[in-house]
Chains A and B, each alone.
Chain A
């Protein structure tokens, strides 16, 4: 049984894209945090906890929001059979540095809880009540083959997975998430789905 990509979101070069459509753009030169808070407002998201999160989690929450709210995609699959597979280059370095600075004075509990890259998987899971397995990989560059291979492995035991790349520092803000699901016989009649393979993942990430 093959699998297909139902939806994808990308944040890059100060733009927010969903399924290839430009949703929001910021022409000003702003920090990653300011950019993401601008996108938060542009999609009318109401989630007060967003402002307490570190930038990596904000990036993940924004990308996931557009995908999982897309035609209620999240409700089509069992939450315990939906996985999250993420990756990046910088791990949680931006938050690690910010936390280290507070250690000279009063170490910040609010920063400390974000000093792991996989916290963003938990934040997405909490918001969308996803209880399937999750993984976070640190890679030197975007690795479509890794995402494809690991997602396919997971799909042997699960129904769907939210996968992608969330990389952030003070000036770089790059997010790409896609939602992949097993293809059923009924779904095979539909032609607008994207086959889940490394080449298509790369194409969606680049374009």
Chain B
């Protein structure tokens, strides 16, 4: 799980062009949206693309997205449970 969290931090920085953020700056438990990294709705779409492109996972129930993308940790847990 720790390795996946580290990989996700690097992938999120690259996918979202967070050029001034380093992996160690990201608190795995901090909210990704609103506070923390302050991501927006376009970033949410990019995270959905990342999930599908890197891990082959499609979110079946849109209402689950809020909990899945709450933090890097919740995203890693979802990937671990659903990775093909």
Contact = CB atoms under 8 A, between A and B. Distances in A.
Given A48-B20, A52-B17, A113 B52 contact: no
A109 B46 contact: yes
A146 B21 CA distance: 42
Nearest to A47: B20
A48 to B, nearest CB: 5
Interface residues of B, number: 14
Interface in B17-49: 17-21, 38, 42-43, 45-46, 49
Given A106-B52, A106-B53, A51 B18 contact: yes
A52 B17 CA distance: 5
Classify the interface of chain A: helix, strand, loop or mixed: helix
Nearest to B45: A109
30 contacts: A37-B19, A48-B18, A48-B19, A48-B20, A48-B21, A48-B38, A51-B17, A51-B18, A51-B19, A51-B20, A52-B16, A52-B17, A52-B42, A105-B53, A106-B49, A106-B52, A106-B53, A108-B46, A108-B49, A109-B42, A109-B45, A109-B46, A109-B49, A110-B16, A110-B17, A110-B42, A110-B43, A110-B45, A110-B46, A113-B42
